[in-house]
């Protein structure tokens, strides 16, 4: 079967430096894939390649077998590491904007966009806060909103860039419930995280990037015990913690 | 604890135009202590650090530092008194060099021994040695956090407050930074560590305070706080 997303030898350079250097992997429809790796390994650059922010310097990205230039219209939604809501709008209005500029070929009428916003807010657990200004949201809720805006575009593939950073374990567990709820609607999810509670909690598969290349690719419980991953990324103390020591 | 703590916060209420965020906070930190401040997002942790630094106005209560009242003092006077703040998200001057960022931490100092301090910082963070001329924004997240902590140290503080050391950093880098935090503490500087990764904070700290909805709800030895059933449930998710 053709994978939903297929990366072949994807390369992106900045000046002389290859931030992403010949990365190859594919994602099946409905998968949840984690991407981890040291700061500067190329994780966000890779997301930017998939979502069409950058033009590739080499390789190819195929969406259901067809080479793509990215963009929301194809059905790729994403969040940003630094949350970027429209500050003067309400929560509901922010999500409606996502619905208006989403992956459907025609722009929906305003009423339909707000209906879509309401159902997404229900899904991510923000329904009670729909009419609040964004400024009134707590940090965990702002992250929910960031996800809601991306989900409102009706993505088939959702890219989440460190949406759990700065949350404590209990807040993370709540956020994981949200990711599961979104995933259950049939969306494929790729998420970048440094928080292993997230990777272990929700990912079926994890890819480790190091220096722009794929260091490991497999089930979290196998990959996180890989000595090379511990050396390059996790460190000894964290590896012990994961083992429950 | 010694009769005269380095930092003595008594009945502190503080916040913004919309109303107080902190209510009647009591916190003491002894000379050379390493203390963790733990709490959910929105509990008021960063507001407390901001109030200590003179960035947020206290409406009641008192902050004494090193035997002086520093309540609602100007931020630069508080830095000069020996209280330095490493803010959440690093807040470096992106287009300035690493060295300038570091030296700015000593801007208020008048004792002239700045070069020695810079050498000291580079001993804690040797990775920065060959990057002194690079623009801060070109560094990795971990290196930027090193610059932020280094900048705080350049003020030669008696107490260094670090807000969210681990934010957005790879586990291995957090490990290394925690080791440096311990070294800084061993060399005699007191530290107040605000950390979302509660396990990391409680592992390294001697004592801990738990902040909930603007109030201190628990204080004690870090090991005891870590074993507290409510903390394990509410923060550690165990």
Going along chain B from its start, the domains and CATH numbers come out as 7-92+158-236 (3.40.50.300)
Q: Is A169 in contact with B237 (Cβ distance < 8 A)?
A: yes
Query: DSSP state, A55?
Result: -
**In 3D, which of A6, A34, A4 has the Cα closest to residue A202?**
A34
Chain A residues within an 8 Å CB radius of B42: 138-139
What percent of chain A clears pLDDT 90, i.e. is strictly above it?
51
Chain B residues within an 8 Å CB radius of A237: 175
The H helix count followed by the E strand count for chain A is: 9, 10
Q: What is the pLDDT of residues B18-65, one digit of tens each?
A: 889 999 999 999 999 999 999 888 889 999 999 999 999 999 999 999
Structure tokens at A203: 């990912």
Q: What is the pLDDT of residues A35-91, one digit of tens each?
A: 999 988 899 899 888 887 788 888 999 988 888 754 545 667 777 666 677 778 899
Domains of chain A and CATH, by start: 1-71+196-245 (3.40.50.300)
So what's the pLDDT on residue A70? 45
Mean pLDDT, residues A224-228 taken together = 93
So what's the pLDDT on residue A72? 46
Chain B contact for A14, CB < 8 A?
no
Kindly write down the DSSP assignment for every residue of A98-153, as one continuous string: HHHTSSSSSPPPHHHHHHHHHHHHHHHT-GGGTTSBGGG--HHHHHHHHHHHHHHT
So what's the pLDDT on residue B35? 98
Q: Which helix (H) or strand (E) holds A223?
A: helix A220-223
**In 3D, which of A107, A110, A201, A223 has the Cα closest to residue A154?**
A107
Residue of B nearest to A236 (CA): B172
Predicted TM-score of the model (pTM):
0.83
- Chosen for mutation from B166, B170, B200, B214 (greatest number of chain A CBs closer than 10 Å) is B170
Q: Is A39 in contact with B234 (Cβ distance < 8 A)?
A: no
- What percentage of chain B's residues is helix, strand, coil (to nearest 5)? 40, 25, 35
So what's the pLDDT on residue A101? 76
Residue of B nearest to A197 (CA): B237
Q: Is B234 in contact with A197 (Cβ distance < 8 A)?
A: no
The per-residue pLDDT of chain A, averaged, comes to 87
So what's the pLDDT on residue A69? 55
What percent of chain B clears pLDDT 70, i.e. is strictly above it?
99
Structure tokens at B95: 């287009």
Chain B residues within an 8 Å CB radius of A172: 237
Q: Of B41, B234, B238, which is closest to A166 when you measure between CB atoms? A: B41
Q: Of B164, B170, B233, which is closest to A166 when you measure between CB atoms? A: B164
Q: Of A169, A170, A233, which is closest to B171 when you measure between CB atoms? A: A233
Query: Pairing between strand A205-210 and A213-218?
Result: antiparallel
pLDDT digit string (tens) for chain B, length 238 residues: 456 899 999 999 999 888 899 999 999 999 999 999 998 888 899 999 999 999 999 999 999 999 999 999 999 999 999 999 999 888 999 899 999 999 999 987 878 789 999 999 999 999 999 999 999 988 888 899 999 999 999 999 999 999 999 988 999 999 999 999 999 999 999 999 998 888 889 999 999 999 999 999 999 999 999 999 988 888 877 7
A197-203: long-range contacts, CB 8 A cutoff, minimum separation 24: A197/A169, A197/A172, A197/A173, A197/B237, A198/A34, A198/A164, A198/A172, A199/A34, A199/A36, A199/A224, A200/A224, A200/A242, A201/A172, A201/A173, A201/A176, A202/A32, A202/A34, A202/A176, A203/A32, A203/A33, A203/A34
Round to whole Å and give the CA distance between A168 and A139.
11
**In 3D, which of A152, A154, A174 has the Cα closest to residue A164?**
A174
- Chosen for mutation from A39, A175, A227 (greatest number of chain B CBs closer than 10 Å) is A39
- 3-state SS track over A160-219: EECCCCCCCHHHHHHHHHHHHHHHHCCCEEEEECCCHHHHHHHCCEEEEEECCEEEEEEC
Interface ipTM > 0.90: no
Query: Roughly what angle, to the nearest 10 degrees, separates helices B114-124 and B171-186?
Result: 130
Q: Is A38 in contact with B235 (Cβ distance < 8 A)?
A: no
Query: Pairing between strand A213-218 and A58-63?
Result: unpaired
């Amino acid at each position: 079967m053709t994978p939903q997303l297929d990366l072949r030898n994807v390369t992106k350079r900045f000046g002389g430096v290859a931030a992403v250097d010949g990365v190859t992997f594919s994602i099946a429809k409905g998968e949840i894939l984690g991407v981890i790796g040291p700061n500067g390994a190329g994780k966000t650059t890779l997301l930017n390649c998939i979502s069409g922010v950058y033009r590739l310097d080499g390789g190819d990205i195929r969406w259901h077998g067809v080479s793509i230039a990215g963009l929301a219209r194809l059905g790729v939604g994403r969040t940003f590491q630094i949350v970027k809501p429209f500050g003067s709008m309400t929560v509901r209005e922010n999500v409606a904007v996502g619905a208006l500029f989403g992956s459907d070929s025609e722009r929906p009428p305003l009423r339909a966009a707000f209906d879509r916003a309401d159902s997404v807010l229900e899904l991510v657990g923000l329904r009670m806060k729909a009419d609040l200004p964004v400024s009134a949201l707590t940090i965990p809720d702002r992250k929910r909103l960031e996800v809601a805006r991306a989900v409102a575009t009706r993505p088939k593939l959702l890219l989440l860039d460190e949406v759990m950073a700065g949350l404590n374990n209990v807040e993370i567990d709540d956020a994981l419930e949200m990711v599961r709820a979104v995933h259950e609607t049939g969306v494929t999810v790729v998420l970048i995280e440094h928080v292993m509670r997230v990777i272990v909690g929700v990912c079926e598969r994890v890819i480790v990037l190091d220096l722009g290349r794929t260091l490991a690719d497999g089930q979290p419980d196998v990959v996180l015990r890989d000595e090379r991953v511990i050396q390059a990324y996790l460190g000894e103390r964290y590896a012990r913690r994961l083992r429950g020591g | 604890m010694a009769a005269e703590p380095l930092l003595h916060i008594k009945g502190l209420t503080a916040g913004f135009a919309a109303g107080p965020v902190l209510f009647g906070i009591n916190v003491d930190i002894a000379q050379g202590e390493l203390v963790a401040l733990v709490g959910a997002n929105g509990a008021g942790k960063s507001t407390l650090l901001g109030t200590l630094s003179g960035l947020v106005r206290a409406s009641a209560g008192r902050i004494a530092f090193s035997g002086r009242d520093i309540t609602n003092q100007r931020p630069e006077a508080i830095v000069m008194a020996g209280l330095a703040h490493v803010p959440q998200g690093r807040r470096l001057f992106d287009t300035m060099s690493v060295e300038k960022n570091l030296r700015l931490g000593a801007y208020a100092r008048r004792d002239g021994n700045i070069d020695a301090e810079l050498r000291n910082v580079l001993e804690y963070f040797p990775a920065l040695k060959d990057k002194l001329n690079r623009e801060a924004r070109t560094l990795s997240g971990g290196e930027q956090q090193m610059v932020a902590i280094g900048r705080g140290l350049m003020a030669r503080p008696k107490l260094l407050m670090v807000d969210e050391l681990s934010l957005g950093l790879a586990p291995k880098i957090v490990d290394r930074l925690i080791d440096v935090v311990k070294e800084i503490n061993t060399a005699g500087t007191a530290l107040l560590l605000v950390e979302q990764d509660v396990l990391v904070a409680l592992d390294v700290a001697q004592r801990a305070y738990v902040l909930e909805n603007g109030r201190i709800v628990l204080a004690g030895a870090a090991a005891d706080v870590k074993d507290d059933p409510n903390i394990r449930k509410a923060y550690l998710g165990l």
